[in-house]
Structure 1
Amino acid sequence: MQWSDDKVTPGVPIQYEVVETDADLIDIKELLRTIWRRRGVIIGSVLFISSIALLFTLQLTPRYTASALLTLQTRNESVVDIQAVMSGLSADASVIRTELDVISSRRLIGKLVDKLQLTKDPEFNAALREKNPLALALNPKTYLSHDWLLALGIVTEDEALLTEAERAALEQAAVVDQVTEALSTSNPKLSYTIRIGFESESAAKAALLTNTLAELYLTDQLEAKFEATQRATDWLSERIGDLKERVLTAENAVQAFREQNEIIQSGNQGTVGEQQLAELNVQLITAQTNLAEAEARYSQVQAQVGRRNSAASLGEVLKSPLIQRLGEQEAEVRRKQAEISKRYGPRHPDTVNINAELSDIRAKIAEEVSKVTNSVENEVRVSRARVTTLSQKLEELKRESTGVEKARVQLRELEREAESGRVLLETFLSRFKETSNQNDLQQADARIISKAETPVESSFPKTRLILAVALVLSLMVGLGLAFLLEALDNGYRALEHLQKINKIKGLGMIPRLTNLKLKGSKPFQYALNKPTSAYSESLRSVYTSLMFGHPGDSKPKTILVTSSLPGEGKTTFCLSLALLLARAGNLRVLYIEADLRRANVGKAMAELDATKPSLSQYLVETGHRWQDCLVTDKTSALDIILARGKIDNPQALLQSDKMRSLLREASEQYDLIIIDTPPLLAVSDAVVLSHVVDAVVFVVKWESTARDAVRNALDLLRKAGAPLGGAVLTQVDIKKHAYYGYGDYASYYGRYGDYYAN
């Protein structure tokens, strides 16, 4: 934030232009200063909450947690290739979740309670714990009779009628609940492992509970498989007995039906009738084939009969060895015949002899052909007779086979029933043998890969974590309280705050004088007695800021000092500054007490001449000059115009021509005029006088004056067009101000005490 100062002209308001910078948006330093200012609250919150957390932690009973790690068997070990009655576990997430539920089931926890006799352990059985005297005193059951308890409804009739066994069962259920609360099961992500943990007041007991439950879980898996296998074996044994009776009955029925219907089975070839029918059918087909061949040959022979050459050339004829030889002889004779006929002619005896020989051979051939023809005809008759006989026999067998087939339909049904019974019996027998052998091959679907060890450190309470959380929480609470107190802080502790919020220039800060320093004197007397003290130097600093804090040769000569509320040190500031400047001797200073309602300067400075007219008398009465009202302090040579007594309508007097004349004439004779006026929010006298002065100095009491009061008072001055010269923080506690760490010049008063003579 910056101020742009224009040249000061008497009677013209001083304008300060406020220029916003990035520091107005985010001020990290101010946040750090706030934390530093409220460090006591923060440290106190941290110490208080951390101490409470530590005490609470020390009061808690330490508990120990032991954990074991199991893994599910996703790879089954197959000693023999048989199917198990109860299959192994799959790696599905729902299966793992189910196993976690099995481990934490009341059935398995009940086994753990029974095995370790936890009903006798006071940690899990509340009935065995030592009763708190206060709890016993507050419990109506300790001093009221049973009838009264029933009447009041504290005990029900059902509870009163419980047997010992029922009470033991309720006690067992309560212990199971306590053990279940101490148990924790989990499945690490992306794994087939199961973590089992128990929390107990005893480290050894926690490890014992964990390992025992893990062993019970594995044993429970084996028992489940043994029970399933045993149930399957018993059921198979009973079923096999029934199947044996059914198979025997079915086989007897098949054999009886065979005997009754004379169905004789010949190995794998079927019945005897079927074999005969098949053989006869083959013979008939062969005979029909032979008949067809014989008839074909006979037809061919008949077609060639009478045609000698053709008949002799038949295939059946040519097959005869005799005809073959005669044919060869005929060919030879015909060759000789041709040679002789060519040589001797047709009438030669040799020719006649050779012709006779040829005729004889041909006659033999014709005779032999006739025999072959008769043989083929005879073969046809024999083949036809054989076909007829076989056909008749086949028809008889078919008629017999029809009756047998009807009987075989029922036989096949009986055989199928017997066969299905045998197959089912063999299957059950095979499964029975496999199941019986599984009793020695059963293994659990999980195994322990890490047993629980006795823990060394307690798992509860986690002191370090609790203290760390308490530390962080307390720090947050402390910071919250610090910023809350800062937000609720309604006063001003630094000029920077006053400047930012109210857009007014800060002239300086006046330290508060303690009784130890004053030693019974007044603050203005201290300023005169200690001209080089921090108090005096702060007054000079304010004057310097007011006079030389802006460019230009003309400086404010008439200064009006006011405040928003009474008691802010306005009069003390005015009087101390006036006395100090007058004592220096280089300025002629006039102090005017313009508070016509509460005149206190005369009482504070009793050594002043009380016979001189007051400001009130000068403004009301005639015949007095303002010079007649002057009272001079002998120590500092300060001229003072006092305001004694009370008058009516002081505002009219302050804005009268005589008042204006006083200020105008006095400004010609004095170098500096300081006018002490009443508070703005009490009366508006200062507003009236603000139009006839060069600058208005606004006094704010450090840490006390409410911000709303300051804002409202400054609004009155701005609306009236008053020449605001700046603001001064009075009665500043230097030690507290330095402790808050604002970093302004007032914070260094104590550090550089060598420069001051306090």
Structure 2
Amino acid sequence: MSVTQSTASDIDIDLGKLFSSLARNWLRILVVALAIAGLVFVMAWMATPHYKAETRLLIETRESVFTRPDATGDNQPILDEEGVTSQVEVISSTDILKRVARQLNLSKLPEFDSAANLSLPARLLVIAGLKSDPTEVPPDERVLKAFREKLTVYRVERSRVIVIEFSSEDPKLAAAVPNAIADAYLAVSRDAKLASNSDATEWLEPEIADLSKRVKEAEARVADFRAKSDLLIGQNNSVLATQQLSELSTELSRVRAGRAASEANAQSMRRALEKGGSLDALPEVMSSPLIQRLRERQVQLKSDIADLSTTLLENHPRIRALKSQLTDLDAQMVVEARNILKGIVTEVQTAMLRETQLTADLNQLKAASARAGEQEVELRALERDAASQRQLLESYMTRYREAASRQDRNYLPVDARVFSRAIAPSEPYFPKIVPMVGAAFIGSLLIMAVITLLQELFSGRAMRAAPGARFEPVEQVKMPVVNAQADDDSDAPAPVAPDGESVGPDWITDEIGIVRAAEKLIAEGTMRAVFVSPQGDEAAAAAVMVAREVSDAGLRVLLLDLTTGGAASQPMLDSVRFPGITNLLATGAQFNNVIHGDLYSDCHVIPIGTDDPEQAMRAADRLPIILESLTTAYDLVVIECGIIDANGIRRLVGENTEIFVSVLEPGNQVTATAEDLKAGGYQGFIMVTPAGYDAPDFPRPSRNVA
């Protein structure tokens, strides 16, 4: 069979001819554009104009600082983003819309009740059952549906402003509806506040009565407990028992200190008297009035004796009388000192008795104070309960008075105000004749231009032959015939190889060259070409030459080298030390790391790689997935397998795959490979030889390198 084939670059688009079609058909394009623009103009002129108006609300606290009940209470309005959004839903609620519809009598307007004036085609569709009968829907629902279609309520972003937009065929109605909705919203909000205030007043009345009773009972319990417990309050608001305990402790400390001082004085006097020491160093003795008089008399006698001693002798009766008086004074002083000592001892004994009595009284007061403390704790608990009840009662009474006064004075400001009312628009927002006609004209021009270009392109008039394109007849390539004696009854002798060895009677084939193999791949649109080289690395050159030839024809080609020593990729890269398929299988590299550019063509190549082949072969199951990915990215994937059997290429064969056997010269290796492929089910393989094909000798730097 003969087929005429061209490569992907055999034909090209002549842009000059393509766009010259616009100049040839400019009149048709212009007429169609003007016709469409005229039609849009007529439709816009005949369309019913619609007017739009808007009313703007500001959500804010209207309560005055002088009348605000409680700046920290829960009755403050919610002015956050969620609160404003909730008000948008309230404004567009069914209750408000129904109220406005009844107020403006919208059900009487044909604009809001399409069922009232059904056109003849619509009635026919209803009769035929192709359209639902709008009269089956209640009038209120029909009006409400039309109302919602014309109404738009939204919140201005990052603000507390709510916009109410409404469109209508009547400009006055377009302004009246949003204003009526705003007024209805304010009225509903005011009624809601009034109802809330009334509910609060009604709830507070019984609560206040109940709290008053509970406060009275709590205070009565406090007074009764105080009377029964006999908790007397002294100075500084302290319990009397506690205060007495403190005073008695102070008195006991004072008595103990006085007793200790008296005991010390008595001990000192006793020592002085026993040892006959001077009594002048004892302050208690010297402070006695009698001792002081005796001391004065003693001083006087000593003075007289001294005066008389100047004129009289010591044995003079007068001097002896004075000395006798002086001796009597000393004895009197000792007697007085002993009396003072007895008084001090008596004071010590009295202090000890006083101390014993105070200690007993102190112990009694301790027990009484402990009991008083327990009673005081219970009393304070009762007082706290009464105080909390009283505080709650006062709070409720304050709120009740505020709510009652607001209800009586009707002072319940709504937390919103209208700061921009809608006015009747003078110009319709639809239809805008000039923009619509302009857009229709420009759009129709573009569409007609695209249609004209597509017609020119599909007709083939804008196509031209690509430079250097070849159009040759490609004849049917003869396939190898293996074990064909069942179909061939001739007695012709079996072919003999040049080396004298018989190649077997079952091997009959015609070899094709590199160019014919490349043309066959291009003509059939083959996606994958598997090359088997039974005669070693030198035969792998056929795969390289075919890949380069197809790449030179303009197709995207990749050669995958699966030979043991990299025989296919080495002449393309001048080295084998590049990451390749083994690195990809061992997950040591990615596609962009293992794909390299051929130095002599536009072909890409994946070499054998630098990773361990044994480790890579453990992941051989990933090879079909890799080939599928490469087939998607390239027009043709050429796989050089080297010496391999039919079982070894099963992972490589996929959809639209061609198998080639590279032949340097006929021989037993080729015969064995052909028999093995035929036995494995691959009967359509092709013999290809690189003989007569001149490979490039120098790199071509102008080529694209991956």
TM range (shorter): 0.5 to 0.7
**SS of structure 1 residue aligned to 2:285:** helix
Question: Which residue number in structure 2 is paired with residue 177 of structure 1?
Answer: 145
**SS of structure 2 residue aligned to 1:312:** coil
Question: Which residue number in structure 2 is paired with residue 89 of structure 1?
Answer: 78
CA distance in 1 between counterparts of 2:25 and 2:241 reads 122
Q: 1:214 corresponds to which letter in structure 2?
A: A
**SS of structure 2 residue aligned to 1:306:** helix
How far apart are residue 50 of structure 1 and its match? 1.0
Q: 2:89 aligns with which of 97, 101, 111?
A: 101
Write out per-residue CA displacement over residues 382-417 of structure 1, whole angstroms, 9 at most, x where no aligned residue.
Answer: 323333333444455556666666655654544443
Q: Which runs of 5+ in 1 are unaligned?
A: 1-23, 142-148, 161-166, 505-758
Please list, as runs of the form range in 1=range in 2, the aligned pairs for 1:567-582 lying within 5 A after superposition.
none
Matching of residue 255 in structure 1 with residue 223 in structure 2: yes
Q: 2:108 aligns with which of 115, 120, 126?
A: 120
Instruction: Give the RMSD, CA atoms, in angstroms.
Output: 4.2
Question: Which residue number in structure 1 is paired with residue 48 of structure 2?
Answer: 61
CA distance in 2 between counterparts of 1:288 and 1:379 reads 12
Q: Which runs of 5+ in 2 are unaligned?
A: 1-11, 470-706
CA distance in 1 between counterparts of 2:441 and 2:308 reads 157
How far apart are residue 137 of structure 1 and its match? 4.0
Question: Which residue number in structure 2 is paired with residue 462 of structure 1?
Answer: 432
Write out per-residue CA displacement over residues 682-706 of structure 1, whole angstroms, 9 at most, x where no aligned residue.
Answer: xxxxxxxxxxxxxxxxxxxxxxxxx
Q: 1:115 corresponds to which letter in structure 2?
A: Q
How far apart are residue 208 of structure 1 and its match? 0.6
Question: Which residue number in structure 1 is paired with residue 448 of structure 2?
Answer: 478
Please list, as runs of the form range in 1=range in 2, the aligned pairs for 1:509-520 lying within 5 A after superposition.
none
CA distance in 2 between counterparts of 1:442 and 1:338 reads 115
Please list, as runs of the form range in 1=range in 2, the aligned pairs for 1:110-149 lying within 5 A after superposition.
110-127=98-115, 129-140=116-127
Please list, as runs of the form range in 1=range in 2, the aligned pairs for 1:333-344 lying within 5 A after superposition.
none
Against the structure 1 CA distance between its residues 140 and 38, is the aligned structure 2 distance closer, same or farther, given a 3 Å change threshold? closer
Against the structure 1 CA distance between its residues 281 and 441, is the aligned structure 2 distance closer, same or farther, given a 3 Å change threshold? farther
Write out per-residue CA displacement over residues 107-151 of structure 1, whole angstroms, 9 at most, x where no aligned residue.
Answer: 322332233233333322334x3232343344339xxxxxxx9xx
Question: Which residue number in structure 2 is paired with residue 429 of structure 1?
Answer: 397
How far apart are residue 64 of structure 1 and its match? 0.6
Against the structure 1 CA distance between its residues 266 and 316, is the aligned structure 2 distance closer, same or farther, given a 3 Å change threshold? closer
Q: 1:227 aligns with which of 168, 182, 195?
A: 195
Q: 2:213 aligns with which of 245, 258, 269?
A: 245
CA distance in 1 between counterparts of 2:415 and 2:343 reads 92
8 Å Cα contact 2:62-2:415 kept in structure 1: no
Against the structure 1 CA distance between its residues 488 and 254, is the aligned structure 2 distance closer, same or farther, given a 3 Å change threshold? closer
Against the structure 1 CA distance between its residues 50 and 335, is the aligned structure 2 distance closer, same or farther, given a 3 Å change threshold? farther
Matching of residue 215 in structure 1 with residue 183 in structure 2: yes
Against the structure 1 CA distance between its residues 310 and 235, is the aligned structure 2 distance closer, same or farther, given a 3 Å change threshold? farther
CA distance in 2 between counterparts of 1:375 and 1:110 reads 112
8 Å Cα contact 2:233-2:239 kept in structure 1: yes
CA distance in 1 between counterparts of 2:144 and 2:268 reads 113
CA distance in 1 between counterparts of 2:214 and 2:332 reads 82
8 Å Cα contact 2:218-2:382 kept in structure 1: yes
Against the structure 1 CA distance between its residues 291 and 58, is the aligned structure 2 distance closer, same or farther, given a 3 Å change threshold? same
CA distance in 2 between counterparts of 1:184 and 1:202 reads 17
Q: 1:93 corresponds to which letter in structure 2?
A: E
CA distance in 1 between counterparts of 2:36 and 2:311 reads 165
8 Å Cα contact 1:185-1:194 kept in structure 2: yes
Question: Which residue number in structure 2 is paired with residue 371 of structure 1?
Answer: 339
Against the structure 1 CA distance between its residues 480 and 25, is the aligned structure 2 distance closer, same or farther, given a 3 Å change threshold? closer
Please list, as runs of the form range in 1=range in 2, the aligned pairs for 1:257-276 lying within 5 A after superposition.
257-263=225-231, 269-270=237-238, 273-276=241-244
CA distance in 1 between counterparts of 2:274 and 2:268 reads 12
How far apart are residue 55 of structure 1 and its match? 2.4
Against the structure 1 CA distance between its residues 209 and 61, is the aligned structure 2 distance closer, same or farther, given a 3 Å change threshold? same
Question: Which residue number in structure 2 is paired with residue 667 of structure 1?
Answer: none
CA distance in 2 between counterparts of 1:75 and 1:302 reads 96
Write out per-residue CA displacement over residues 150-189 of structure 1, whole angstroms, 9 at most, x where no aligned residue.
Answer: xx99899xx99xxxxxx8xx43233222212211123333
How far apart are residue 381 of structure 1 and its match? 2.7
Q: 1:181 corresponds to which letter in structure 2?
A: E
Question: Which residue number in structure 2 is paired with residue 319 of structure 1?
Answer: 287
- Total equivalences in the alignment: 455
Q: 2:58 corresponds to which letter in structure 1?
A: T
Please list, as runs of the form range in 1=range in 2, the aligned pairs for 1:288-299 lying within 5 A after superposition.
288-299=256-267
8 Å Cα contact 1:85-1:435 kept in structure 2: no
**SS of structure 2 residue aligned to 1:454:** coil
Question: Which residue number in structure 1 is paired with residue 169 of structure 2?
Answer: 201
TM-score by length of structure 1 reads 0.52
Matching of residue 44 in structure 1 with residue 31 in structure 2: yes
CA distance in 2 between counterparts of 1:114 and 1:349 reads 150
CA distance in 1 between counterparts of 2:217 and 2:208 reads 14
Write out per-residue CA displacement over residues 58-106 of structure 1, whole angstroms, 9 at most, x where no aligned residue.
Answer: 332211100122223279742246325531233x433332222222222
8 Å Cα contact 1:42-1:481 kept in structure 2: no
Q: Which has the larger radius of gyration?
A: 1
Q: 1:89 corresponds to which letter in structure 2?
A: I
**SS of structure 1 residue aligned to 2:208:** helix
8 Å Cα contact 2:239-2:372 kept in structure 1: no
Matching of residue 73 in structure 1 with residue 37 in structure 2: no
8 Å Cα contact 1:66-1:199 kept in structure 2: yes
**SS of structure 1 residue aligned to 2:357:** helix
